[in-house]
Structure 1
């Protein structure tokens, strides 16, 4: 953006402030500390929420269970574009989802501060990284100066640590503390069972894993995860991510030759749409299995030992940005250490979550093995 463009945008924002389109200073409420350690004053009885990424609705579904969208007045367009199966599932039960105001597309630069201000939100929720305004974004500062509470959550950079924290933060902000605790207790119980069993594993007991993100959709093969995000799940369940030493952050890319040379014990692809791995809400097992076969047949990686030995799997891509990631963690645990986790059943955990923690039926196929789907 040019200097002139920045000035023009600033003038527009000042105009919004001057004609009183934002809320007055908050007089009552409570202080909530977000995942960045920011203490934010949130008003009582939040009724108007703007989500930076619309996929943050995954979290709201655990808290505002009867209607996760009843307070959402604006969001970015990433759910519709990047997870269309879930968007259509939501819309089927709550048609008004299609009419929620769009504040931007799938990038921070596309987000309109003016649109957010015009929606008069009580609360704005951003993710620390991703397709929307990120940690320390000037957009957050502008909204805070306008008297709007802005909270940061994280399900994608340090998900093991921050998933429970993020649910707690949102629960405190919207008066759903009991629902938040119900989920965090559930999460801790399932996670603890896994971490306790792999705690004593030595490095030589940890299989090597290559996790390819958006296989068949990303512009080039080798898009992967490093030390955060889904890579953190691999480490948590006792695997050795072959990209951890060369991709310092949560997401990056490695050369095909690097993967072929490493020849990992296990290959895992992620996806949520064609022409890649087809997984998610409303996807049947046959379609998921067929899409995995197509991904594994690509010439770049088809000669990997893991693929030849049928130790190749598929995972719903949006587990990387969702509090439902405990299902991915359980699936990974069974794939990487089947001998340790014979009694772990992610499908049963999914059913438990759907029955006790969610009101929206998002039945579909979220992980798939060579010859088996779930």
Structure 2
């Protein structure tokens, strides 16, 4: 090929590379950036944009809801340490996950000892100082606070993206939403007179009743029930006399809480749930802000409306 032709090709190549570089600069990247070349960016529940260089390989999970999500997304291998509330999941985990006990007992040094590339923690006010200190020590932190069905699904999506399992998270959320929609399609047209009055007692809150604004209340409503304790927000201690007066049709007790016989011994035999033997035990760890909430929803719906599942 003539020397002049080679020079022309070289000039065109240089111009092409230059134009590509300019385009990438405008887009905030570089010519060597592939998909995700700028890392993984997630906005957590502080409203903070957190960036990871790549999918984490050493995760410290400080909340059982987050640990369950990580496990369900297939990243058991990445969890090196977790708080005590996650330890009920330990039999399903790879060996070697360290029990960090209560989050309130931790300090930055105890986290650094595990060399994490990501810490996941509840976005509670009581943890803000701890979160700030971890970030000052260059620890990457994601803080979430899911409180209802929609925010649980959002947390799964964002956490899945953060740990490099976006496709699995999308599939998990889609499957959960489909199961939720199946239940609500059956219960959404029920009149109040068709809905049972329900008393739900939590083990995870020290035997307290689930009031309004809780995910337990939301699941009861979705399942086609009426929460007899929804006149108080949050969880609260309910005297047995109040349960007697409000006469629930159904009682649900979370496993790990007080024995059914203990509760019944304080209730009048005329309470509908007692006289009709409609007292159920629900698996602990399901009425919570994790993928297991759909299992709880399905169980509640079957107890509230068995006729819909015939």
> What's the TM-score, normalizing by structure 2?
0.78
- Structure 1 residue 239: Cα displacement: 1.1
Q: Do the aligned residues in 1 keep the contact of 2:244 with 2:268 (CA within 8 Å)?
A: no
Match among 38, 44, 50 for residue 34 of structure 1: 44
- What's the counterpart of residue 70 of structure 1? 77
Does 1:235 find its partner at 2:245? Answer: no
Q: 1:113 aligns with which of 95, 102, 108?
A: 108
- 1:51 and 1:196 map into 2 onto residues whose CA distance is 35
Question: Structure 1 unaligned runs (5+)?
Answer: 1-26, 278-291, 344-374
Q: Is residue 307 of structure 2 the alignment partner of residue 323 of structure 1?
A: no
**Deviation digits for residues 208-261 of structure 1 (CA, Å, limit 9, x no counterpart):** 10001129x94xxx6111121212110122211111102x12x22222211111
Equivalent position to 2:134, from 117, 131, 143: 143
Q: How many angstroms does 1:144 deviate by? A: 2.2
Gaps of at least 5 residues in structure 2 are 1-36
Q: How many residues align?
A: 271
Partner of 2:245: 261
**Which residue does the alignment assign to 1:226?**
211
* Segments of 4+ moved more than 4 angstroms: none
Conserved? CA contact 1:52–1:125, under 8 Å:
yes
CA distance in structure 1 between the partners assigned to 2:169 and 2:239 by the alignment: 41
Contact 2:59 2:118 in 1 (8 A): yes
Corresponding residue of 1:192: 181
Matches within 5 A, 1:180-329: 180-214=169-203, 218=206, 223-227=208-212, 228-246=214-232, 248-249=233-234, 251-272=235-256, 276=258, 294=261, 298-301=264-267, 303=269, 304-321=271-288, 322-329=290-297
Aligned partners of 2:174 and 2:65: how far apart in 1?
Answer: 23
The answer to whether the Cα contact below 8 Å between 1:234 and 1:332 also exists between their aligned partners in 2 is: yes
Larger Rg: 2
> Normalized against structure 1, the TM-score is what?
0.66
The change in CA–CA distance for 1:54 and 1:306 in structure 2 (over 3 A counts) is: closer
Q: What is the root-mean-square deviation in Å for CA atoms of aligned residues? A: 2.6
Bigger relative contact order, structure 1 or 2 (CA pairs below 8 A, ≥6 apart): 1
